[in-house]
Amino acid sequence: MFASQTVLPLWPEGVPNAKPELGPERWDQGRVANISEPTLSVYPAGVDRPSGTAVIICPGGGYTRLSVEREGNQYAQWLSSLGITAFVLKYRQAEFGHPAPLQDILRAVRMVRAEAAKYGIKPDRIGVIGSSAGGHLAATAGTLFDLPEGKTGHPLDNVSGRPDFLMLLYPVITMEPPAVHAGSRKSLIGSHPTPELVRLMSVDKQVNEKTPPTLLIHTQADQAVPVENSILFYQALTRHHVPAEMYLFEKGGHGMGMKAGLGTSSDWTRRAEEWLRDHKLIQ
């Protein structure tokens, strides 16, 4: 396993609404569940001339666990090789529910932005990449960055939590039928959410002109999170004149990560590199 240089506590002053009774984390084959102490793992840019860009990585797992190895560490190695400083976010999930994951991703963006000089990055070049439910979390950062529930009263709340760009891989987007991923919905907002909460967490309905430029990756073969999720978000971005690019591939099931042998979908990282270069985020 590629080891990160530093693991930072996300809430050194104390986790909001802490639940010490949850006990230890549960690790199994590169995945972790029962998270009560969120962290950021830092992967420095792995080239002589860093780009000055940072990306915070939100692994997927249906808001019940995190695929840290396949959708976290592997992405970090790839991004590091491009000259990007990567941060893998270990965020709270079903044990807490909304708004804990949103608080975690917005705190991560604020921490990285506040410490930009320390990491040799530019405060206006901080993006978020997320897969599956992690893609939903990334999209909430890009749409709900000013939501009061995303703040805790800490001085860091005065730092902007808005990412400068998003990269969403087979993301959960809507909380409404027919395209909803029912497991993610239940884990995040419960079995009987109010209509208002369902709409709030259907992030395609929260897009506006302040939503950052976005790259979307999805496949027809995804049987868990329908491709309509990405299409809904892309359509919303287009309506609000937000720069967006979307690649919809034929092959590649849900959670494909960086797996080889899935036809053209296995080359999604090349498309992403082109997009990053076109937006002058890497050289």
Three-class DSSP labels, the chain: CCCCCEEEECCCCCCCCCCHHHCCCEEECCEEECCCCCEEEEECCCCCCCCCCEEEEECCCCCCEECHHHHHHHHHHHHHHCCCEEEEEECCCCCCCCCHHHHHHHHHHHHHHHCHHHHCCCCCCEEEEEECHHHHHHHHHHHCCCCHHHCCCCHHHHCCCCCCEEEEECCCCCCCCCCCCHHHHHHHHCCCCCHHHHHHHCHHHHCCCCCCCEEEEEECCCCCCCCHHHHHHHHHHHHCCCCEEEEEECCCCCCCCCCCCCHHHHHHHHHHHHHHHHCCCCC
* Lookup: tokens for 155: 């001085």
- CB neighbours (10 Å) of residue 209? 9
pLDDT by position in tens, the chain (length 283): 344 579 999 999 999 999 999 999 999 999 999 999 999 999 999 878 899 999 999 999 999 999 999 999 999 999 999 999 999 999 999 999 999 999 999 999 999 999 999 999 999 999 999 999 999 999 999 999 999 999 999 999 999 999 999 999 999 999 999 999 999 999 999 999 999 999 999 999 999 999 999 999 999 999 999 999 999 999 999 999 999 999 999 988 887 888 898 889 999 999 999 999 999 999 8
Query: Structural domain boundaries of the chain?
Result: 6-18+35-278
pLDDT of residue 252: 86
Tokens 């840290």 found at:
68
Report the C-alpha gap between 191 and 201 in whole angstroms.
Answer: 14
Question: Regarding the domain delimited by 6-18+35-278, which CATH topology (the fold level of the hierarchy) does it fall under?
Answer: Rossmann fold (3.40.50)
Residues 91/138/160/107 CA torsion (nearest 10 deg): 0
pLDDT of residue 256: 86
Report the C-alpha gap between 116 and 53 in whole angstroms.
Answer: 10
pTM of the model: 0.96
From residue 74, alpha-carbon distances to 44, 57, 149, 231, 239 in Å are 14, 10, 31, 26, 34
pLDDT digits (tens, 9 = 90+) for 246-269: 999 998 888 788 889 888 999 999
